[in-house]
Amino acid sequence: MTELIVTGGTVITLDDARRVIPDGAVALRGGRIMGVGTAAEIAARFPKPARVLDAKGKAVLPGLIDTHAHAGHGLVKTMGNGGPEWSEACRVIYSSASPAAFWYAEARLAGLERLKAGVTTGVSVLGGGDCIMRLDTPAAGEARARAIAEIGIRDIMAVGPRRPPFPHDFVMEDGSTRAIRFEDMLETMGLLFERVHDRGRMRLCTFMPVYREATHDAAKVAEIKAQGRAVRELGARFKARFHQDGHRTNSIVMADEMFGLLGPDAFLSHCTDLSDEDIATLVKTGAHVIHNPTAIAAVRGFCPVVKLLDAGVNVAVASDGTAPDRSGDMFRHAFEAMRYAQRAARDDSLIPPGRALEMITVDAAAALGMEREIGSLEEGKRADLITVDLTAPHMVPANMPVWRVVCYATAADVRDVVVGGELLMEGRRVAHLDEAEIVAAAEAETAQMLRRSGLSHLVAEDPGWRRTRR
């Protein structure tokens, strides 16, 4: 008996042959993909399925992968009208106004958003702003792990220290203030790896802030080098990936030559205004680039995606979500990646839709070291897939399915989501979750956060009517 057959849709496999199968089907059993082919072929191989999901009028795709976003941001996404106050708000909130309940409520909200957008695997940095990580105790990370387990998707939580100098002050659950050293954060990282890494659908990866200084203080460089070595050793012990957020000109060279941080297990976000030496370092080390085309960093600098791809560097597209101005809609980000490269070169032949789709599926899986598990619909891989409605007015006429999915689809067009063989969303209904309760709990925790932080004034909206600048 097979658990589930998804049949009758246009199956966009993303396999090595990049097959697109009209009237196709996928057979799932035991959390794995057992067969991919035409509907007739799969019906012949699996004649008595336990359950059938009719995908007629839909595209069937591997689950989407968001390789860089931030835990916590779901409840601060609207603060400061997108101005510089937002980053300062992150510092205050993540240090002093975010108990475990905050991280639990935010993770359920962000996880629900990802699920409904067809994102079956996502990276979540445990904090944000300028590397404001919540690692004073394991409470925040454990709360996030509990919440994501309820949602049912895969999550890779990035944990790592803040920037020097240490210690950093944190406000504890009881209202007391504690000075947290690097050693304390490293200990917390170890506890989180022991308690939640590789449990269910939760994995962890290690994280280090990006060093970008133009002049180098020898003592500071030595301190960061020692911290980087300790973080990398912890990750190696658990066979975990390594992540950094915010690379730009020459910082990739420094990460490799000064700190020895890079390798084929490293994936690096933003990567704007890179030097030729940076690109050569990426080629040499095999590190992966995470392009965030809708992020502020992509406005202030330029990620040379085509140059990177032509050099043989693996590039994935990510949301950098969800604050201060972007969602987890990976179709939106993939399409923007196309336009971003095309506008810069004034060449509309760049980044065709198929390549854009690869960067949120198979290429994203490779960046996470999961290319043998997820990212394409192939026998033996984990049973993660989504369906996308092809019958809505903006998705008609019924031709060129890859083009339509990448150029016209949005998160709202995702109809069904399967993770590990479990049908988590069917016809946009998420039966195992109370969506209204998750939203209400997030609203209540946001109100508490604003009260605790004293930052309520930052949610006073200023749309910028009749102005050309903020």
Give the count of beta carbons closer than 10 Å to the beta carbon of residue 238. 16
Contact criterion met (CB below 8 Å) for 153 and 119: yes
Residues 152 and 297 in one domain: yes
- The alpha carbon of 457 is separated from its chain's Cα centroid by a whole number of angstroms, namely 30
Confidence of residue 129 (pLDDT cuts 50, 70, 90): confident
Q: Any residues with CB less than 8 A from the CB of 292 and at least 6 apart, and which?
A: 68, 269, 270, 298, 303, 317, 318, 319, 320, 333
In this structure, the number of other CB atoms found within 10 A of the CB of residue 18 comes to 14
Instruction: For residues 77 and 28, state if they share a domain.
Output: no
Q: What is the pLDDT of residues 5-17, one digit of tens each?
A: 999 999 999 999 9
Share of the chain above pLDDT 70, in %: 100
Residue at 221 is within a domain? yes
Domain co-membership, 251 together with 337: yes
Task: Return d(Cα 264, Cα 268) in angstroms, integer.
Answer: 11
Pair (42, 166) in one structural domain: no
Predicted confidence (pLDDT) at residue 195 exceeds the cutoff of 80: yes
User: Which residue in 284, 290, 205 sits closest to 240, CA to CA?
Assistant: 205
pLDDT in tens, 309-324: 999 999 999 999 998 8
Residues 76 and 206 both lie in one domain? yes
**Quick one: pLDDT at residue 111?**
98
Residue of 325, 245, 328, 253 lying closest to 285 (CA atoms)? 253
**Per-residue pLDDT at 76:** 93
34 and 82 in one domain?
no
Which tokens sit at 49? 């399925």
Total structural domains within the chain: 2
pTM > 0.75: yes or no: yes
For residue 109, tell me if it sits in a domain: yes
Residues 22 and 52 in one domain: yes
Average pLDDT, stretch 414-427?
98
Shared-domain flag, residues 161 and 288: yes
Here the tokens at position 432 are 């195992």
Element (H, E) at 36: strand 32-38
Compute the average pLDDT of residues 85-102: 93
445 in a domain, yes or no?
Answer: no
Q: Domain check: are 20 and 168 in the same one?
A: no
Write the CATH number for 151: 3.20.20.140
- The answer to whether position 180 is within a domain reads yes
Neighbouring-strand partners of residue 389? 58
Structure tokens at 65: 């992968």
Q: Beta strand 168-171 with 132-133: parallel, antiparallel or unpaired?
A: unpaired
Give the pLDDT confidence score for residue 424 in this predicted structure.
Answer: 98
pLDDT tens for residues 233-257? Answer: 999 999 999 999 999 999 999 999 9
Q: What is the pLDDT of residues 385-411, one digit of tens each?
A: 999 999 999 999 999 999 999 999 999
Measured distance CA(404)–CA(283) in Å, rounded: 33
Of all residues in the chain, the percent with pLDDT exceeding 90 is 94
Q: Which residues contact 278 (CB under 8 A, 6 or more apart)?
A: 247, 249, 250, 251, 252, 253, 271
pLDDT value at position 138?
97
Residue 452 has pLDDT above 80, yes or no: yes
121 and 195 in a single domain? The answer is: yes
Average pLDDT over residues 34-50: 96
Average pLDDT score over residue span 90-103: 95
The answer to whether the beta carbons of residues 71 and 124 sit under 8 Å apart is yes
Mark whether 333 and 231 lie in a shared domain. yes
In degrees and rounded to multiples of 5, residue 375 shows phi and psi of: 105, -15
Q: Please provide the average confidence, as pLDDT, over all residues in the chain.
A: 96
Tell whether 185 and 287 lie within a shared domain: yes
User: Please, what is the Cα angle at 318 between 317 and 320, to 5 degrees?
Assistant: 145
User: Considering 342, 367, 392, which residue would you say is the last residue of a domain?
Assistant: 367
Per-residue DSSP letters for 225-282?
HHHHHHHHHHHHHTT--EEEE--BTTHHHHHHHTT---STTEEEE--BS--HHHHHHH
Query: Is 431 a member of any domain?
Result: no
In a domain? residue 440: no
- Which pLDDT does position 2 carry in this prediction? 66
Domain of residue 335, residue span:
64-367
Give me the CATH number covering residue 54.
Answer: 2.30.40.10
In a domain, 105, yes or no: yes
Residue 443 placed within a domain: no
pLDDT range class, residue 78, cuts 50, 70, 90 = confident
